[in-house]
Structure 1
Amino acid sequence: MTRSRALIGAVFLLLATVFLSACGGGRTAIPEPPAHGNVLDQADVLSDDDERVLNQRIDERNAHTDGARVAILTIDGVDGDWEDWTRDAAESWGIGDKGKDNGILIAVDTDERVTRIEVADGARETFTDDDASAVTENVLEPALEDDHYAQGLTDATRAIYDDVQGISSPGKEQGFWEKNALYLALGTILFLLLVVVLLYQYRKRRMYRKADREISEYLRENPGAEVEPETRQAFRTYRFNHPRRPGDEDERERRREEARRNGEELDPKDDPQVFTQYAPTFGAWLPLYAASPTLYSGSGTHPSSGSASSGTSFGGGAGFSGGGATGSF
């Protein structure tokens, strides 16, 4: 009888365990990383334009530093421990460059109204847990309290990159000669800045004249066509930032043509709706500008050609051992 009771008890225990698991003991699955860009807005709190601006700013900052690689995730509710979940998400996504452990995940749960900045071990060398707490409390949460998600995420992203790039140590007391040397250095820097500004203005005028010549040629070839002042200025700015044909343009066009022929999706760096492409003439630029004014009226967004960045924040990074800060709003 005792053995039978023990067997019955074990069966009931097993059934209870299965029942509890089925009734919510599970854990929210980690979503796949974004197919393009560095932002996954599962909570649907960002507009398409908000996401485009965030992705563009992350790409631009990635191109100038390898101190951090930031990704953003919003989600409407998570079952399970929030910090464990965000840490596993950052690891699963591979945020950061492989071998550098420089990934940072900004995560927001809009249902529980909690935040988490998850920082990989390599990034913690310049962006400490105290820095993460300061950004969470002073930048992210105040905006999120009023449901200004785009502003909060944009400002937090900028603050993180600023911290990574702007670390400085307090200066020591300087003597008379040291102060004079400092003034001399500052004077030299100001002089060099003046030279840079003058060269910039010269190049700007030269490229604007080139753009105006291209517009004039277009008007000669298209009698009756008109160019609004805003369009002229947008093309001037575009031509200033894209003065010459890139060296890989032939290869990029070959890939685009092959994708069209095979009915395949364009690689993001070849897609004129994702990255700014080179337009050799004003006429070639016009339809690109009409489709994506933001990308084709300024510096735009480019695939990185340097060693500082791959553009994306997903480079097989790891090393998320618990650094960062959690908050609520």
Structure 2
Amino acid sequence: MIKNTIFTLIILFSLTLTGWTQGDFPEKPNPPKLVNDFSNTLSDLEIRKLESKLLAYNDSTSSQVSIVLINSVGPYDISDYAFQLGDRWGIGRKEKDNGILILAAMKDRKVFIATGYGMEGAIPDALAKRIVDQLIVPNFRMESYYTGLDKATDMIFKLASGEYQADKVTSSGNSGGALLMFLFFIFIFVILPMIKNRKDNDNHMGGKGGGVDLFTTIMLANMLKGSSRGKFGDFSSGRGGFGGGSFGGGSFGGFGGGSFGGGGAGGSW
């Protein structure tokens, strides 16, 4: 009896181990691509437009954003799957770990934004969650998959641009006053709406009960980072500056060996 039990446990452990190493993860694309639709959800035109947009961003910054659509993550949690896939493909630069993976499991109706170590400051979990809840999920529910991904990447570009621009500006002025101002806005735009929502029994973030919307959160996040000089709002006149126009002019050179440390957020539709 004991031998049979041990043998069964060994078999189960082996199946679990091989589950992470065989077949569950798509191979790194060759030739390399930033947009990989293994679920045949997007049209060829939509894929080319997104690829061109992400390629332009890759060429213009040090960051890499990749979109992967699959049918299912199987028995795995979509967040674990996203981190594993991001590590296996090496999305982002090795020395900066500044990759972002938008993973959607179409049959599971789940989506997750995974951020590399180097992008967690620009896109903390709270902002990743709002991008999912307010930009991706509503469009995916209407089967507007391209629109959801297009808007999500626009917002990611804006957030990432805000951090890198702030890095280039030497800090000046009264930092204590900025902190007090930030705390004041936190109280007005975050604490009070939360109290109101609780009284209204509305626990849905961003619902009609007066929750904090995505753009208010972005404003507060940029205040915290000291970027009060309007640089975030000046990003390509409020639009994602790497989309539109002609496409197909370049080719992606490949992922740079970035790593993922557990940052990000997801949702379902």
Band the TM-score falls in, shorter-chain normalisation: 0.5 to 0.7
Matched, 1:70 2:65: yes
Name the structure 2 match of 1:43: 39
1:231-281 deviation digits (Å, cap 9, x = unpaired)? xxxxxxxxxxxxxxxxxxxxxxxxxxxxxxxxxxxxxxxxxxxxxxxxxxx
Instruction: Pick from 139, 147, 151 the counterpart of residue 151 of structure 1.
Output: 147
Size of the alignment, in residue pairs?
190
Query: Residue 41 of structure 1: CA displacement?
Result: 0.7
Query: Residue 312 of structure 1: CA displacement?
Result: 4.7
Alpha-carbon distance in structure 2 between the residues aligned to 1:18 and 1:76: 27
1:274-322 deviation digits (Å, cap 9, x = unpaired)? xxxxxxxxxxxxxxxxxxxxxxxx6544448xxxxxx45611111x110
Alpha-carbon distance in structure 2 between the residues aligned to 1:98 and 1:15: 40
Alpha-carbon distance in structure 2 between the residues aligned to 1:61 and 1:312: 13
Instruction: Pick from 76, 93, 101 the counterpart of residue 97 of structure 1.
Output: 93
Whichever residue aligns with residue 11 of structure 1, its letter is N
Matched, 1:324 2:247: no
1:210-289 superposed matches below 5 A: none
Query: Residue 21 of structure 1: CA displacement?
Result: 6.9
Instruction: Pick from 14, 17, 33 the counterpart of residue 7 of structure 2.
Output: 14
Matched, 1:115 2:108: no
Aligned CA RMSD, in angstroms, stands at 3.0
Matched, 1:164 2:160: yes
Matched, 1:106 2:46: no
Cα pair 1:97 1:313 within 8 Å, conserved? no
Instruction: Pick from 113, 134, 137 the counterpart of residue 138 of structure 1.
Output: 134
Alpha-carbon distance in structure 1 between the residues aligned to 2:57 and 2:42: 20
Whichever residue aligns with residue 29 of structure 1, its letter is D
Say which SS state the counterpart of residue 58 (structure 1) adopts. helix
Alpha-carbon distance in structure 2 between the residues aligned to 1:312 and 1:156: 23
Classify 1:12/1:323 alpha carbon distance in 2 versus 1 (closer, same or farther; 3 Å): closer
Query: Residue 17 of structure 1: CA displacement?
Result: 5.6
Q: Which runs of 5+ in 1 are unaligned?
A: 1-7, 174-297, 305-310
Query: Residue 11 of structure 1: CA displacement?
Result: 2.1
Cα pair 1:40 1:73 within 8 Å, conserved? yes
Alpha-carbon distance in structure 1 between the residues aligned to 2:25 and 2:103: 12
Query: Residue 61 of structure 1: CA displacement?
Result: 1.6
Alpha-carbon distance in structure 1 between the residues aligned to 2:156 and 2:106: 21
Whichever residue aligns with residue 18 of structure 1, its letter is I
Whichever residue aligns with residue 31 of structure 1, its letter is P
Say which SS state the counterpart of residue 125 (structure 1) adopts. coil
Cα pair 1:70 1:313 within 8 Å, conserved? no
Query: Residue 158 of structure 1: CA displacement?
Result: 1.5
Say which SS state the counterpart of residue 160 (structure 1) adopts. helix
Whichever residue aligns with residue 4 of structure 2, its letter is V
Aligned residues: percent identity?
32
Structure number with larger C-alpha Rg: 1
Query: Residue 9 of structure 1: CA displacement?
Result: 3.0
Query: Residue 165 of structure 1: CA displacement?
Result: 1.1
Alpha-carbon distance in structure 2 between the residues aligned to 1:112 and 1:20: 25
Q: Which runs of 5+ in 2 are unaligned?
A: 167-174, 182-244
Name the structure 1 match of 2:27: 32
Query: Residue 126 of structure 1: CA displacement?
Result: 1.6
Query: Residue 15 of structure 1: CA displacement?
Result: 3.9
Query: Residue 43 of structure 1: CA displacement?
Result: 1.2
Name the structure 1 match of 2:77: 81
Say which SS state the counterpart of residue 43 (structure 1) adopts. coil
TM-score, structure 1 normalization: 0.52
Alpha-carbon distance in structure 2 between the residues aligned to 1:62 and 1:22: 38
Name the structure 2 match of 1:314: 255
Alpha-carbon distance in structure 1 between the residues aligned to 2:51 and 2:57: 10
> Larger % of helix: which?
1
Whichever residue aligns with residue 34 of structure 2, its letter is N
